[in-house]
Amino acid sequence: MKQPAEINRYWAERGRTYNTEERLTKDYHHLQESFLVDVIKLSGLAPQSILEIGCGFGRVTKVLSAEFSHCQITALDLSEDQLANARRYCGDCQNVVFHRHDLYSGEAFPGEQFNLAIATEVFLHHPGQAVRGFIKQIRDKAQWIASIDWCEEWQTPVSHHVWIHNYRALYKEAGLACASFVIPEKVDGKQQRLFLAGRTLPEGVRRLERVLGHHTRGATEPAWDSVTQTPRTSWPENWDAALRNAMTELDSVIPEEAAFILVDDGQWPVGDAFPTRRVLPFIERDGRWWGPPENDQAALQELERMRREGATYFAFAWPSFWWTEHYAQFSQHLRRAFPCVLENERLIVFDLTT
């Protein structure tokens, strides 16, 4: 096993050149960042102070600074070169301070206690015994830990500086409760998860895990029904073929220039698939998917708001068919108030114009 000095030497060298050179696509990084922010907000953690472990050149730091502008953020990295890059990249972020820190040193983290510690693709670069120690250090400094890492064995050879860990087991060993959320897109066939851990977790975290945690494409665990807590068996075996068919069906049933609501739990890569129509996520804030509604009443209020603003069709995609049971009153309202113009194993579509 590599020694700490070898691992630190590798990252010190890499820190001299690793800046905007990215191994993942820009779109995937945006997804990763927005997923992290959304889970923190929707789970009800409401941090006032954040400790970022391994900030690199500040990619995630800058997003956190903007999204949690009320928070004081302390960002750490081993590499002085990376810290210099981060200070430049985050130059206008008034709520961020940077410090050099060597996780292997055993030295205390700077600052007082934190609500939330965040480590994005950090633990995967260290062997299991080291990560056990890191988690215990962070546990004693922060109320909650959020980490994003690869969560399943790679089909290709693992890089010499990558380790795949069982994070649930590591957090449990440290005496922490853990919730996990599948990031809804694989990269080169490899899956990442967001883990939230703490001595105790708010009910909002558990609720969000029940709603989101098992309704994502590519999950390494079975997809589960959020109401009955039993394995879901109705998803199509050939996802890509079903998605193509569903896109064609939406294209045929929704008029051109229409604005339509698509409930897909952020699963479908809609992108520019409907250039002559406006696709609205549900629930949305500033055009972005904001997660599922808190309850039936919240869903009804959001529907009426979006209708007033021009939405004329409403579509459930199959990854969100669980809504019809979990939000039963909302689903019944749709069926009573609006004609269903398409219903099959892929889609349920309502005309909101009546």
Q: 268 falls in which pLDDT band (50, 70, 90)?
A: confident
Asked whether the predicted pLDDT for residue 24 surpasses 80, the reply is no
* Average pLDDT rounded to a whole number, residues 202-230: 53
Counting DSSP H helices and E strands in the chain, the numbers are: 11, 14
Asked whether the predicted pLDDT for residue 212 surpasses 80, the reply is no
Write out pLDDT tens, residues 82-120.
999 999 999 999 999 999 999 999 899 998 899 999 999
Name the CATH topology of 4-212. Rossmann fold (3.40.50)
- pLDDT at residue number 231: 33
Asked whether the predicted pLDDT for residue 214 surpasses 60, the reply is no
Work out the mean pLDDT of the chain and round it to a whole number: 84
CB 134 within 8 A of CB 34: no
As to burial, measured by CB atoms within 10 angstroms (0-12 exposed, 13-18 middle, 19+ buried), residue 257 is exposed
- pLDDT at residue number 315: 96
CB 176 within 8 A of CB 199: yes
Let me know the angle formed at the C-alpha of 120 by 60 and 166, rounded to the nearest 5 degrees. Answer: 165
CB 44 within 8 A of CB 205: yes
- pLDDT at residue number 19: 57
- pLDDT at residue number 2: 60
- pLDDT at residue number 9: 76
Residue type present at position 251: D
* Average pLDDT rounded to a whole number, residues 273-299: 85
Give the long-range contacts of residues 61-70, CB within 8 A, separation 24 or more. Answer: 61/86, 61/89, 61/90, 61/93, 61/96, 62/89, 62/90, 62/93, 63/33, 63/36, 63/37, 64/37, 64/118, 65/90, 65/93, 65/95, 65/96, 66/93, 67/37, 67/41, 68/40, 68/95, 69/95, 70/95
- pLDDT at residue number 278: 92
CA pair distance 240, 232, nearest whole angstrom: 18
**In this predicted model, which residue has the larger pLDDT, 20 or 119?**
119
* Average pLDDT rounded to a whole number, residues 177-205: 87
Each domain of the chain, given as residue ranges in start order, spans 4-212, 239-351
Write out pLDDT tens, residues 157-181.
666 678 889 999 999 999 999 999 8
Write out pLDDT tens, residues 34-92.
889 989 988 888 899 999 999 999 999 999 999 999 999 999 999 999 999 999 999 99
- pLDDT at residue number 184: 75
Asked whether the predicted pLDDT for residue 279 surpasses 60, the reply is yes
Asked whether the predicted pLDDT for residue 298 surpasses 50, the reply is yes
Residue type present at position 189: G
CA pair distance 183, 295, nearest whole angstrom: 23
- Quote the percentage of the chain above a pLDDT of 70: 84
Token pair for residue 29? 């990084």
Asked whether the predicted pLDDT for residue 215 surpasses 50, the reply is no
User: Under 8 Å CB-to-CB from 344, ≥6 apart: which residues?
Assistant: 249
pTM beyond 0.85: the answer is: no
- pLDDT at residue number 285: 78
Write out pLDDT tens, residues 140-154.
999 999 999 987 766
**In this predicted model, which residue has the larger pLDDT, 112 or 339?**
339
